[in-house]
Amino acid sequence: MTTIAIVGNGPPQLLPDLIEWKDSIDYWIGADRGAFILLQHNLPLNYAVGDFDSMACGEKSQVKSYAAQLREYPPEKDETDLELALNKAFLLQPEKIILFGVTGGRLDHEFINTQLLYLIVQKGIKGVIIDRQNKIELTLPGKHSITYDVAYPVVSFLPFTAEVENLTLSNFYYPLEGQRVSWGSSLCISNKLISKKGTFSFTRGIVLLIKSKEAL
């Protein structure tokens, strides 16, 4: 499975330990200051993209020297730096895209970054947002397997569409059978698996799957 990681410009205190992912990633993309973050961690920077307006001149020069490939855009553009990075990732046709450094900070950025998961899943690619406290994934109708994650043990299911039909949860502390869940419902918040593996399924709508852990 080809896996691409994109690192954005989110608050550094929310980043997981990127070094732990070094052997799991085939291609690293830095979006704007995310490119400098990869440089700081001595991780590969296969492609840097963005307007780089969040970096000082010296940092930008370092990124230009460090990156295998770099494309700079003007600040006045239709796409965010993260969407430009995604467009590059799509050209490489990976099976999985992981987004780091895309939560926290400005809420408008965090919300649109979460919505970008929809672009990923629509292309048949597995997309995941990972920060120090959460893993976020968008899922389409069908039956899905889920594995217990000791690092992110709390599991929540949020409707990404106005309604989700026939949501069923198996092997969970709070099981569910054929439930309709709508925007504003907290029914599926803070659940946990009761074994190493479980399943969830639904027939209509889109579900945001969030695995979390409590803040330290």
Q: What is the pLDDT of residues 69-97, one digit of tens each?
A: 999 998 888 789 999 999 999 999 999 99
Same domain, 75 and 168: no
Same domain, 158 and 65: no
Over residues 107-136, the pLDDT tens digits come to: 998 999 999 999 999 999 999 999 999 999
Same domain, 109 and 150: no
Over residues 178-215, the pLDDT tens digits come to: 999 999 999 999 999 999 999 999 999 999 999 999 87
> Total domain count for the chain?
2
How many helices and strands in the chain, by DSSP H and E?
Answer: 4, 13
Of 99, 114, 132, the position where a domain reaches its end is 132
Cα–Cα distances in angstroms (integers) from residue 118 to residues 112, 161, 184, in the given order: 10, 11, 20
Of 88, 108, 132, the position where a domain reaches its end is 132
Same domain, 115 and 156: no
Alpha-carbon span 158 to 82, nearest angstrom: 23
Looking at this protein, which amino acid is placed at residue 66? Y
Over residues 142-185, the pLDDT tens digits come to: 999 999 999 999 999 999 999 999 999 999 999 999 999 999 99
Same domain, 55 and 124: yes
State the pTM of this model. 0.93
- Pairing verdict, β 126-130 and 96-100: parallel
At 208, which CATH number?
Answer: 3.40.50.10240
- Residue closest to 58 by CA, chosen among 36, 75, 38: 36
Same domain, 83 and 8: yes
Same domain, 154 and 54: no
Same domain, 119 and 155: no
Range(s) of the domain holding residue 40: 3-132
**Which pLDDT value is given to residue 216?**
66
